[in-house]
C-alpha cells in the first residue's frame, strides 16, 4: 500500500482506531514507494479517536521527514554531508584549483635525494614549458604551445587508439617488429601517440641538452637526426653513459613539434631502463607535476629514504605487449562503496600503467558502474554537456567549493591507490568540469591507468624485481 493510502487507512475509524507500527516502513525508507501489508494495520488497541488522530498525524509527519532525508542523504550536496562523511569518503575542493592555470608557479622544492639523479619534469603544454627551450635558441613565448583541455583530450584519444591497436595486433606483428627494432618509422608524431611530460637530457660530446618526452609506453630513445646510432648520454655530471644506443628521425611533425625526441622507459632491451640497468639496477621513479603550472621529477636508482615504506604490486607479463607495464587491478571504490564489478571484467581486459596517457580508460562494464555511482553521489550539482571523450560533467559556476566522493583502486598485493582530487576531476572551465575517467569501446580493450590519476604520487618502477609501488609525493 503506498504512503498516501497508508494515511487514509489510518484515518478510517471515527470513534476508535488502533495501529501496530510496521517495522517494514522504516526498513524501506529511501525507496520510491513504501509498501505495507493490509494485515499490518489492525484493530488491536482502542483509544479515543481525537488523541489517536493527533498521534498518528504527528508520527506520519516525522516519518515523511525521515523519508525525504533518507533520499537526500545519497547525494553529496554542500549542506547534506556530515563531518564524519567529509573525513572518510569526501574530498572538499576549491573549484578554481580544478581549472587550467594561466601562469607557471614558483619552482617546487624536492625532497632531499642527492644520492640519486633527479631530472625536472614539466608538462609540455603548460606555462612552465617555456623554460625547456632548445639549447642555443632564445626562450620562446609559450602561448602558442598551450593547448586547450579539449585539444589535449583529442590527442589523448589518438594515443589510446594507437596503444589499443598495437596491443591487439601484438601477436601477429611481433616477428615483423623484432626484425625492424632499430628502424624509426618516419611518421607524424600524432600517429605514434606520444606523451605529455618532458625532461632535459644531454647528448653528444660536448653535450647538448635536448628536451625529450619521457614515455613508459615506448622503448626506443630517439632524437631528430638522420640515422640510428650510438652517442654519449648525460643526465648529470656524475651520470654519463657512453655508447648509448638511440634512434633518429627526420621531419617529425604533430605532437613532436615542440620537443627534440623521446626518452623510452619501457622494458625492451633497447629502452633507457635496460641500457642503464648496471648503474641503476633497473629502477626509476617519477612524481608528476601536481598541476600543469608546477614541476615534478624523474629519478633513477634506489631511493633509500622511501624503500621501506613502499607497498608493491607485481608487474604482469602479457604476451600482447611484453615491454608494457601490466598491473592486476582487483576492485574500485567510490565513496564508501565497493563497485559491483566481476573480477573477470578486469582479468579479461588487463591494465597497463602509462605515463603518456592522460585519462584512465576502464573496460566498458567497469566504467558504467563507476559512472553510475559517481553520478548518484553528485546528483545535487547541475550537470553540464560532455567534454570531448568525457561524458560525466558538471557546472560549478555557482560554487566556490564542492564535495566530491573519494575514489580508490585496489591492486594485487593489497596495494590501494587513493586518488588525489586532481586525479578525479578535470575542467575546461567552471561551467564544464568532468569525471576524469573514460570507458573503452569494448570490454576486451586493455585498460590504461593514465597520468591524471598518478598526480600527487611518486610512482616507483622496480623493473628488476617486476613490481611497482605508489607513495605520496609532492
Q: Determine contact, residues 445/165, Cβ cutoff 8 Å.
A: no
Q: In what order do the strands lie in the sheet with 329-334?
A: 337-338, 329-334, 407-411, 415-418
**6-22: per-residue pLDDT in tens?**
444 443 343 333 333 33
403: containing domain? 94-102+116-131+194-472
User: For 410-422, how does the pLDDT look when each residue is reduced to its tens digit (9 = 90+)?
Assistant: 999 999 999 999 9
Identify whether the C-beta of residue 232 lies closer than 8 Å to the C-beta of residue 207: yes
Residue 290 confidence (pLDDT) above 80: no
List, for residues 255-265, the tens digit of each pLDDT value.
Answer: 445 578 899 99
* Grid cell in block for residue 393: 560533467
* Residues 411/343, Cβ–Cβ less than 8 Å: no
Is 67 inside a domain boundary?
A: no
SS3 content of the chain, % helix, strand, coil (to 5): 30, 30, 40
Residue 400 domain-assigned (yes or no): yes
Per DSSP, the three-state class of 452 is helix
pTM of this structure: 0.77
Which residues, listed in sequence order, are joined to residue 470 by a DSSP beta bridge? 459
Residue 50 domain flag: no
Active-site residue flag, 318: no
Q: Whose CA is closest to 421, among 435, 410, 431?
A: 435
CA dihedral 135, 141, 147, 152 (to 10 degrees): 20
256 falls within a domain: yes
Strand 467-472, strand 312-314: pairing:
antiparallel
- Asked whether the bond before 206 is cis by omega within 30 degrees of 0, the reply is yes
User: 378 CB contacts (<8 Å, ≥6 apart)?
Assistant: 75, 76, 394, 404, 405
**Residue 451 lies inside a defined structural domain of this protein:** yes
316's enclosing H/E stretch is none
Query: What's the structural domain count of the chain?
Result: 1
Report how far residue 474's alpha carbon sits from residue 374's, in angstroms, rounded to the nearest whole number.
27
**H or E element at residue 36:** none
Q: Catalytic residue among 156, 219, 303, 354, which?
A: 354
% of the chain residues with pLDDT over 90: 51
CA distance 251 to 38: 81
pLDDT band at 125 (very low <50, low <70, confident <90, very high): confident
Compute the mean pLDDT over every residue in the chain, rounded to the nearest whole number. 77
Question: CA quadruple 194, 353, 179, 282: dihedral positive or negative?
Answer: positive
**Sign for the pseudo-dihedral over CA of 347, 190, 149, 384:** negative
All residues at 6 or more sequence positions from 129 whose CB lies less than 8 Å from its CB, including other chains: 122, 123, 142, 145, 146, 198, 258
Phi then psi for 59, rounded to 5 degrees?
Answer: -65, -40
In a domain, 86, yes or no: no
Catalytic residue among 156, 215, 303, 445: 215
Listed range (134-138, 160-164, 242-246, 319-323) with the worst mean pLDDT: 134-138
Look up residue 180 and give its three cell numbers. Answer: 625492424
Q: Is 215 marked active-site?
A: yes
Question: Which of 149, 150, 148, 168 shows the shortest CA–CA distance to 441?
Answer: 168
Grid look-up 648509448 returns 244
Contact criterion met (CB below 8 Å) for 259 and 130: no
Q: Would you state the pLDDT for residue 4?
A: 46
Mean pLDDT calculated for residue range 181-207? 61
d(CA 14, CA 1): 21
Q: Is the confidence at residue 332, as pLDDT, over 80?
A: yes
Q: Per the domain annotation, does 298 fall within a domain?
A: yes
- Asked if the model's pLDDT at residue 349 lies above 90, the reply is yes
Q: Where are the alpha helices (DSSP H) in 170-253?
A: 170-179, 189-192
Q: What are phi and psi of 6, to 5 degrees?
A: -60, -45
Say what angle helices 49-72 and 3-10 make with each other, to 10 degrees: 170
CATH code, domain with 327: 2.40.70.10
Report whether pLDDT(221) > 80: yes
Residue 31 in any domain: the answer is: no
Amino acid at each position: 500500500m503506498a504512503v498516501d493510502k497508508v494515511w487514509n487507512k489510518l484515518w478510517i475509524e471515527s470513534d476508535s482506531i488502533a495501529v501496530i507500527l510496521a517495522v517494514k516502513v522504516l526498513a524501506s525508507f529511501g525507496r520510491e514507494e513504501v509498501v505495507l501489508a493490509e494485515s499490518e494495520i489492525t484493530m488491536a488497541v482502542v483509544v479515543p479517536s481525537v488523541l489517536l488522530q493527533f498521534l498518528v498525524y504527528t508520527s506520519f509527519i516525522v516519518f515523511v521527514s525521515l523519508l525525504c532525508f533518507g533520499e537526500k542523504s545519497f547525494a553529496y550536496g554542500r549542506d547534506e554531508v556530515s563531518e564524519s562523511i567529509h573525513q572518510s569518503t569526501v574530498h572538499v575542493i576549491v573549484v578554481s584549483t580544478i581549472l587550467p592555470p594561466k601562469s607557471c608557479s614558483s619552482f617546487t622544492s624536492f625532497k632531499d635525494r642527492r644520492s640519486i639523479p633527479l631530472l625536472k619534469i614539466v608538462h609540455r603544454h603548460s606555462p612552465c614549458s617555456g623554460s625547456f627551450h632548445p639549447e642555443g635558441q632564445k626562450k620562446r613565448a609559450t602561448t602558442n604551445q598551450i593547448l586547450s583541455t579539449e585539444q589535449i583530450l583529442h590527442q589523448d584519444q589518438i594515443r589510446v587508439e594507437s596503444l589499443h591497436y598495437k596491443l591487439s595486433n601484438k601477436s601477429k606483428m611481433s616477428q615483423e617488429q623484432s626484425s625492424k627494432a632499430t628502424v624509426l618509422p618516419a611518421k607524424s608524431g600524432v600517429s605514434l601517440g606520444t606523451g605529455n611530460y618532458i625532461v632535459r637530457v644531454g647528448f653528444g660530446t660536448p653535450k647538448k641538452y635536448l628536451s625529450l618526452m619521457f614515455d613508459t609506453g615506448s622503448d626506443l630513445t630517439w632524437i631528430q637526426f638522420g640515422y640510428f646510432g650510438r652517442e654519449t648520454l648525460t643526465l648529470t655530471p656524475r651520470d654519463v653513459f657512453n655508447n648509448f644506443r638511440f634512434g633518429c628521425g627526420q621531419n617529425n611533425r604533430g605532437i613532436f613539434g615542440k620537443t627534440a625526441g623521446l626518452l623510452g622507459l619501457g622494458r625492451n632491451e633497447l629502452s633507457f631502463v635496460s641500457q642503464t640497468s648496471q648503474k641503476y639496477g633497473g629502477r626509476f621513479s617519477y612524481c608528476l607535476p601536481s598541476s600543469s603550472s608546477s614541476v615534478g621529477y624523474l629519478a633513477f636508482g634506489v631511493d633509500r629514504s622511501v624503500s621501506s615504506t613502499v607497498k608493491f604490486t607485481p608487474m604482469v607479463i602479457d604476451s600482447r605487449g611484453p615491454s608494457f607495464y601490466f598491473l592486476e587491478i582487483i576492485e574500485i571504490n567510490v565513496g564508501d562503496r565497493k563497485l559491483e564489478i566481476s573480477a573477470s571484467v578486469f582479468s579479461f581486459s588487463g591494465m597497463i600503467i602509462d605515463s603518456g596517457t592522460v585519462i584512465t580508460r576502464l573496460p566498458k562494464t567497469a566504467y558504467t558502474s563507476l559512472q553510475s555511482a559517481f553520478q548518484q553521489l553528485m546528483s545535487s550539482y547541475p550537470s553540464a554537456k560532455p567534454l570531448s571523450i568525457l561524458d560525466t560533467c558538471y557546472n560549478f559556476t555557482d560554487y566556490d567549493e564542492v564535495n566530491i566522493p573519494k575514489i580508490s583502486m585496489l591492486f594485487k598485493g593489497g596495494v590501494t591507490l587513493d586518488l588525489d582530487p586532481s586525479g578525479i576531476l578535470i575542467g575546461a572551465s567552471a561551467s564544464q568540469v568532468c569525471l576524469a575517467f573514460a570507458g573503452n569501446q569494448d570490454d576486451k580493450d586493455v585498460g590504461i591507468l593514465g597520468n591524471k590519476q598518478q598526480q600527487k604520487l611518486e610512482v616507483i618502477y622496480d623493473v628488476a624485481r617486476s613490481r611497482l609501488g605508489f607513495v605520496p609525493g609532492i
